[in-house]
Structure 1
Amino acid sequence: MIFSGIGDEESELIPIMADGDEGELTNFQAPDILPILPLRNTVLFPGVVIPITVGRQKSLKLIQEVFRTDKLLGTVTQIEGAVEDPEQKDLYTVGTVAQILKILEMPDGSTSVIIQGKRRFEVVEYLEEFPYFKAKVNLLDEITTDADNDEFQAIVGSLKDLSVKIAQYSSNVPPEASFAVKNIENSTFLINFICSNTDLKVEEKQSLLELADLRERGIQAISYLVKEVQMLELKRDIQSKVKLDLDQQQREYLLNQQIKTIQNELGGNPIEQEIADLKEAAKEKKWSAEMAEFFDKEVNKLSRLNPAAGEYSVQYTYCQTLLELPWNEYTEDNFDLKHAEQVLDEVHYGLDKVKERILEHLAVLKLKKDMKAPILCLYGPPGVGKTSLGKSIAKALGRKYARMSLGGLHDESEIRGHRKTYIGAMPGRILQNIKKAKSSNPVFILDELDKVSSDFHGDPASALLEVLDPEQNSEFHDNYIDLDYDLSKVMFIATANTLGTIAAPLRDRLELIDVSGYILEEKIEIAKRHLIPKQKENHGLKASQLKFSRDVIELIVDRYTRESGVRELDKKIAKVIRRVARKVAFEEPYNVNLTAEDIREYLGAPEYSRESYQGNEFPGVVTGLAWTAHGGEILFVESSQSKGKGGLTLTGNLGEVMKESAMLALEYLKSHSEDLGIDYEVFESHNWHIHVPEGAIPKDGPSAGITMVTSLASIITKRKVRKNIAMTGEMTLRGKVLPVGGIKEKILAAKRAGIKEVIMSVENRKDVEEIKDIYLKGLKFKFVASIGEVLDYVLLKK
């Protein structure tokens, strides 16, 4: 506030002004030695009249003695107002000569004194401290400006305007203060009056008092008043905005009340109807008593919210989600095992292991009636039917079907959901799919489990541990629902191309089923039974308009595809049928019964040649078998020998394990040179180069160990390798042949390439015995325990 004063003791005071002639201030004389009255929290300016409350005994004694004599004293402001008994160092050096006008005894017993400032002075030195301060002073002159000066008049006018504006804005300033300022004619009195009563810190007022130039004092006062005006204007703007907001809320409230009245007249409030519908739907749910009580609380919370508020829609969506989830709602399983077997055989050709496992599960479920669902994981190369198998299982069981793709999933909240307090929160995709399936026991496919990744959003693979653990998923906790949901009746089936990228704890919870690739005969059957009829229907052709013979299908499979699954085969068949569909649409002639020439016309030249996978006409060329995520492949290892000093060079984009296998092979041949009839000088006078073709493709793994040693032995001994033979196996430095994995895929690759005989470790015999005879037809197996057996059998005498 601008117009207030605080005296010796803190108290609110009424401003008093004595207008007069400037000569009274400039010509006023006072003694050189004055009693000094310390002022607390206020500064007295010349010409200004203020009342002060006197409480200290020293000050009372001073006032009483001065009032009996000439009534003049010096006022000096304390530097720190909190000091109760100030010393010389606690007082400013510049003060104001004051004259006591009146002493008042107040009703509460205190004493108030009305004093008027006369002239500024500077303390030269203090002479006495007791009973009160006495000091030698030097009177200071005011540097005044001609009253007719335009700049000075502008300063005075600005001070008046700012003071009036503050009086209007501030509720603490009485209305008569504005009137008093307007009616002060003396410029010196006006400047001092405003400086005295401005709401400034004591040190700022003191700095104004110490300015000798009245013009400078006025300019400095303007700078303080401008800040005060700006602050008051800002406060007024904020208050008006708040008032406008309140007015807007009141207006909206009145309008909502009117809308409510109109709605009641028209037949009811839609918001109330929504809440009533939620409560009615809850009666049909099969949830527990605790869940019903929880839902009632949430709906009651919804009814207390303002429909116009954002929280209402969040709460309504939450209640609706709780209703839509199939709590304790299950479909009845079909236990007709003959029917289940028939459905699986109709939709999928082959996959006997998987079908056998599904039928086992159904059999146990039929006998026990209640069983925690196993977590099956089908792993194998792409295109073998892992995902589509889920639909077949759901159809065989009579269950609902749900599928969730995990490919590229990197946010844990995709599994567990977000807290419902977040904007746009929703349940995790597990419960979203359960809600969509409208059943708590669907067949749930978790596709591409090996493609899950993790980053700063969390680790989804760890979140899946709870989902895929039969001991934990009966109390699955979703962050959005914030309740436990029973997933133990869900039949989860995961699919993956490889197990290597699946976290060990997650893999431990899965029942792994290997879904291998198809052999030529199976692919032909799959094309006849499923792919060709599907593509004819997709392209609008009747069955009689185009016919594929077995030879034509075999040609497409053998010469135009090279895969474990049937996805590429499906694309080739679709391409053939598209070409025929065009001829039908253009009414052009074509062969209904496709021939090899037609296939060449529609698909172009054969992309793969079986002959390139056969034959080793030169020493040093050996055929190996490899496993990839797309199935088995055959692998050539070529060696050459040249004059040198025993160096070994490896090319073909080989990994560290394959490089080690090559070095191991050379060391083995050196240490067994006598057994193989090799002159040891060869190792000191020649260099060897091992190359694995298709250098753009990275290759690694231990499976090529015996292939490497056979290739080097062949080139060093100049003995060729038997034709139509392939091998796989790891070797040790002692010459022992170790078993390797992926046997079925490698055997299929060998059959595709026209290989007649396969060499592998004797310990792999058990893997071969588990494979059905149809996969082994046309292949001969040689099981070996040592490298010596391999070389004796494989290397020809010439």
Structure 2
Amino acid sequence: MFKIIKGREKGSEGQTVLELPLLPLRDIVLFPSVPMPLFVGREKSIRALELAMARQKRIFLAAQKKAKVDNPREDDIYRIGTVATILQILRLPDGTVKVLVEGEARARVIEYLLSSETFMVRVELFPEYEITEKEAVEVEALCRGILEAFQEYAKYNKKISQEIVETVQSIDDPYRLADTVAAYMPFKLEIKQKLLETSHLPKLLELVFGHIRAEIEIIKTEERIKGRVRKQMEKTQREYYLTEQMRAIQKEMGEKDDFRAELEELEKRIKRKKLPKEAAAKVRHEFRKLKLMSPMSAEATVVRNYIDWILSLPWYERTRDKIDIEEAARVLDEDHYGLEKPKERILEYLAVQALVKEMKGPILCFVGPPGVGKTSLARSIARAMNRKFVRLSLGGVRDEAEIRGHRRTYIGALPGKIIQSMKKAGTVNPVICLDEVDKLSSDFRGDPSAALLEVLDPEQNHSFNDHYLDLDYDLSKVFFITTANVLHTIPMPLQDRMEIIRIPGYTEWEKLQIARHFLIRKQCQQHGITEDNVVFSDDIILYIIRHYTREAGVRNLEREVASICRKVAREVVARGRETRIVLDEAKVEEYLGVIKYRHSQVEEHRDDVGVAFGLAWTEFGGEILAIETVTMPGKGKVNITGKLGEVMQESAQAAISYVRSRARQFGIDPEFYDKLDIHIHVPEGAVPKDGPSAGITMATSIVSALTGIPVRHDVAMTGEITLRGRVLPIGGLKEKILAAHRAKMRTVIIPRDNEKDLKEIPDQIRDELTVELVDNVDEVLNKALLEPEKLKPRDELPVVERPYYEEQPGAEKSLC
């Protein structure tokens, strides 16, 4: 039990316990023996002062952990504070109270007492620390160190006057010295609170001394930084002063002021340039700022470049379209052989342009394998329309700022590639080819394909806003042409903005004509020889196409022709300009080496069991795909190899399930799955393969392997299979049929639903191929197998019904 003695309580250990009102402090820590003025505005705090005035003017002050809390709770206030005496109190007109308090002693909150008006706490005073003889020397040394450090700090901090230093030096009590110095130092709240909570005198003095030295080091570092900045500013001001003096001297001597002359020239350009209202106002505003800047400042360079970009862009300059349909058709045919659909689309646009004076530029997307002439076709379109042509490669672009530009706040900021292309074109209606739009990528810097949505949207691109210009720029008159190898890597919102035109590849006949009319003439000119120096017959060109190239386009064909021209150029130099070389097969092999591809590869195959030929679509055109199946004694294990994707593996599983379900109709032992292992393999295992269109090819190969009936080697097929045996339509039919034609297949089996796509196949190809339309796998087998009549049902085999239950000896039948 506590015994009350003159308003104080003493515990069993002799420590003094008091009941006092609590005043929470914001960003302030009060130390003992230190007077401090406070401004109190919270009602609860004012009531605490009134209560303290009624109780011997004593109050307990503790700091809040977070100053922003207006109504602190017990957890928001530190447990250790200072018992203080109120020396003076003054009420101000605005309702706040100014109070002067002086700290008495450190104290710790034992408990909070219930009170609705204010905080009442029971606190326990810290016991007085008695210094031992061993600690006396250490305390004396620390006190001297603190006095010296505080005096040194006062030299740097002008807020600490000489009177304060003298007052501190007159203190002879170590506790009071530590608390007074801590009160005057600009320590953080957490540091001051830690000092208040430290009652061990040597430790307290050591902490105060350490923090003062740290503050001194910080101030010294700040002074060094300020000194460097001051010297740099003085140097800059000196350079500016000397520059102005130089200009004044030049003016007195009659020399021309370059900067003023540049401003005058810029002003003339602004007056001559026809600009939209918004752009003109922006330029005039920036020019007024430029005239007030120093020519040596970095900002003047930024503003000058910005004005120059606006003035160099085409805002109203345009070329006049050549609205002559026959002339445009002649130019397109002169540059490219075939490609009827793209040419027809361009002529349609020109026809509409002739009828409608203002028309939004179309956005076309040429999709096809490499080397089919997508980019060169775009260049020919510009020539046919009498427009400027700009090619912009998007391959590997992964920064959105490459399209929209950088903000002018960045160092080295530039407009995006679209605005740069417009400056390069110099007209508002050029043909811009966005090459390799399917090779765009994205990372943390943004998604360029999303930035292209505004560029390629006819409803939005009339007000394209580049980050650098920060002005609306009209792109609606630009004829945008994009090129891509594949569509699936282009985001669907971007595809929706474009008109897709597929360029699948060339037939051998088309390649022959391209080589005859374009490639040979071009390479002869580039290698300094004439067409009389080397003679390419049609048979030799076809020989090169069949044995040295296997592609959808003509890029490799052009390389081989260039290689021959280099060899001929060497002989012309050695033997004279009149040299004439007539190419034959032996000469071609001498120049190009041994043949790379066996043209009659499929023809040399024999009708084989378990080998069927499918048609595949790749980014580089169509390909022939051989699928092999073998069976061997086993327990029904299925092995699928050839680096197949998930979709292709599922097609193989569907084909096996279909064959099992139809085994009796095909004359196959229904129990074959328990007796045989099946291995399905697609050669060229290092090349990844995927897609559903090999379904009927796999089913044909499996049926052939199980029945022993050979598959016709001159038949290629494509189609997706269902478990019921239906044949579903596929994509990329034109590329696949061209691949079958290149491989000299005689028959191609396709789904009946793809009959509409046959219109895109050239008549010459359709005349040389027999295209069979099928609805189900039975029709496929009848057309693909060498002897389909051998697929007879096996009626002699008994039908075994598998029950839903399993009989156990001696047990009754139970249906689960």
**TM-score per shorter chain, which class?**
0.7 to 0.9
Which residue of structure 2 aligns with residue 661 of structure 1? 651
Q: Aligned partner of 1:461: which letter? A: S
Which residue of structure 1 aligns with residue 585 of structure 2? 596
Cα 1:564–1:239 change in 2 (3 A) is closer
CA distance in 2, matches of 1:276, 1:81: 76
- The structural deviation recorded for 1:304 is 1.4
Which residue of structure 2 aligns with residue 379 of structure 1? 367
Q: Aligned partner of 1:472: which letter? A: Q
Contact 1:653 1:696 in 2 (8 A): yes
Equivalent in 475, 494, 507 of residue 506 of structure 1: 494
Cα 1:304–1:637 change in 2 (3 A) is same
Cα-to-partner distance string for 1:441-490 (whole Å, 9 max, x where unaligned)? 11000111111111111111111100000000000010000011000000
Equivalent in 716, 726, 751 of residue 726 of structure 1: 716
Q: Aligned partner of 2:495: which letter? A: R
3-state SS of 2:768 partner: coil
Which residue of structure 1 aligns with residue 805 of structure 2? none
Cα 1:796–1:40 change in 2 (3 A) is closer
Cα 1:268–1:661 change in 2 (3 A) is same
Instruction: Report which stretch shifted further, 717-726 or 391-400.
Output: 717-726
Which residue of structure 2 aligns with residue 122 of structure 1? none
Contact 1:644 1:686 in 2 (8 A): yes
Cα 1:284–1:87 change in 2 (3 A) is closer
Equivalent in 250, 254, 262 of residue 263 of structure 1: 250
Equivalent in 597, 603, 608 of residue 608 of structure 1: 597
Cα-to-partner distance string for 1:408-464 (whole Å, 9 max, x where unaligned)? 111100000010011110000000011011111110001111111111111111111
For residues 348-367 of structure 1, the aligned pairs below 5 Å read 348-367=336-355
CA distance in 1, matches of 2:331, 2:475: 26
Equivalent in 752, 755, 764 of residue 742 of structure 2: 752
Cα 1:83–1:732 change in 2 (3 A) is same
TM-score by length of 2: 0.72
Q: Aligned partner of 1:420: which letter? A: R
Cα 1:729–1:169 change in 2 (3 A) is closer
Equivalent in 289, 296, 313 of residue 284 of structure 2: 296
Contact 1:704 1:728 in 2 (8 A): yes
3-state SS of 2:272 partner: coil
- The structural deviation recorded for 1:223 is 11
CA distance in 2, matches of 1:313, 1:740: 59
Cα 1:92–1:292 change in 2 (3 A) is closer
Identity of aligned residues (%): 46
- The structural deviation recorded for 1:698 is 1.1
Q: Aligned partner of 2:551: which letter? A: E
For residues 196-211 of structure 1, the aligned pairs below 5 Å read 196=170, 203-204=177-178
Cα-to-partner distance string for 1:17-61 (whole Å, 9 max, x where unaligned)? xxxxxxxxxxxxxxxxxxxxx99769xxxxxxxxxxxxxxxxxxx
For residues 413-424 of structure 1, the aligned pairs below 5 Å read 413-424=401-412
Which residue of structure 1 aligns with residue 128 of structure 2? none
Cα 1:263–1:569 change in 2 (3 A) is same
Cα 1:234–1:207 change in 2 (3 A) is closer
Cα-to-partner distance string for 1:61-82 (whole Å, 9 max, x where unaligned)? xxxxxxxxxxxxxxxxx99798
Determine whether 1:254 maps to 2:245: no
Equivalent in 610, 615, 621 of residue 631 of structure 1: 621
Which residue of structure 2 aligns with residue 560 of structure 1? 548
- The structural deviation recorded for 1:503 is 0.4
- The structural deviation recorded for 1:193 is 9.5
Contact 1:428 1:478 in 2 (8 A): yes
3-state SS of 2:301 partner: helix
Q: Aligned partner of 2:725: which letter? A: G
Determine whether 1:344 maps to 2:332: yes
3-state SS of 2:581 partner: coil
Q: Aligned partner of 1:301: which letter? A: K
3-state SS of 2:665 partner: helix
Determine whether 1:305 maps to 2:293: yes
Instruction: Report which stretch shifted further, 588-597 or 687-696.
Output: 588-597
Which residue of structure 2 aligns with residue 31 of structure 1? none
Contact 1:166 1:228 in 2 (8 A): no
Contact 1:523 1:566 in 2 (8 A): yes
Cα-to-partner distance string for 1:372-403 (whole Å, 9 max, x where unaligned)? 11110000111000011111011001101111
Cα-to-partner distance string for 1:218-247 (whole Å, 9 max, x where unaligned)? x99999999999899878767766665564
Contact 2:504 2:621 in 1 (8 A): yes
Cα-to-partner distance string for 1:197-228 (whole Å, 9 max, x where unaligned)? 99x996349799xxxxxxxxxx9999999999
- The structural deviation recorded for 1:525 is 1.0
Determine whether 1:644 maps to 2:626: no
Equivalent in 452, 455, 467 of residue 464 of structure 1: 452
Which residue of structure 1 aligns with residue 770 of structure 2? 780
Structure 2 residues without counterparts, runs of 5 or longer: 1-31, 37-81, 90-98, 107-139, 183-205, 791-816
Count matched residues. 645
CA distance in 2, matches of 1:680, 1:160: 105
Instruction: Report which stretch shifted further, 380-389 or 614-623.
Output: 614-623
3-state SS of 1:674 partner: coil
Which residue of structure 1 aligns with residue 661 of structure 2? 671
Cα 1:591–1:692 change in 2 (3 A) is farther
CA distance in 2, matches of 1:631, 1:224: 76
CA distance in 2, matches of 1:534, 1:784: 45
Q: Aligned partner of 1:195: which letter? A: Q
Determine whether 1:403 maps to 2:377: no
Cα 1:263–1:709 change in 2 (3 A) is same
Cα 1:590–1:624 change in 2 (3 A) is farther
Contact 1:275 1:303 in 2 (8 A): yes
3-state SS of 1:676 partner: coil
Contact 2:88 2:101 in 1 (8 A): no
Instruction: Report which stretch shifted further, 621-630 or 654-663.
Output: 654-663
Q: RMSD of aligned C-alpha atoms?
A: 4.0
CA distance in 1, matches of 2:291, 2:560: 61
Determine whether 1:195 maps to 2:185: no
Which residue of structure 2 aligns with residue 451 of structure 1? 439
Which residue of structure 2 aligns with residue 739 of structure 1? 729
Q: Aligned partner of 1:547: which letter? A: V
Contact 1:703 1:728 in 2 (8 A): yes
Cα 1:731–1:513 change in 2 (3 A) is same
- The structural deviation recorded for 1:196 is 3.2
- The structural deviation recorded for 1:338 is 1.0
Instruction: Report which stretch shifted further, 386-395 or 248-257.
Output: 248-257
Which residue of structure 1 aligns with residue 519 of structure 2? 531
TM-score by length of 1: 0.73
CA distance in 2, matches of 1:236, 1:457: 40
Cα-to-partner distance string for 1:562-605 (whole Å, 9 max, x where unaligned)? 10001111111111222222233344998611110011111111
Contact 1:620 1:714 in 2 (8 A): yes
- The structural deviation recorded for 1:717 is 1.8
Determine whether 1:315 maps to 2:289: no
CA distance in 1, matches of 2:559, 2:157: 83
CA distance in 2, matches of 1:662, 1:423: 58
- The structural deviation recorded for 1:738 is 1.5
Q: Aligned partner of 2:327: which letter? A: H
Contact 1:440 1:487 in 2 (8 A): yes
- The structural deviation recorded for 1:663 is 2.1
Cα 1:532–1:201 change in 2 (3 A) is farther
CA distance in 1, matches of 2:452, 2:294: 39
Contact 2:644 2:688 in 1 (8 A): yes
- The structural deviation recorded for 1:278 is 1.5
Cα 1:641–1:590 change in 2 (3 A) is farther
Determine whether 1:707 maps to 2:694: no
- The structural deviation recorded for 1:522 is 0.7
Cα 1:475–1:201 change in 2 (3 A) is farther
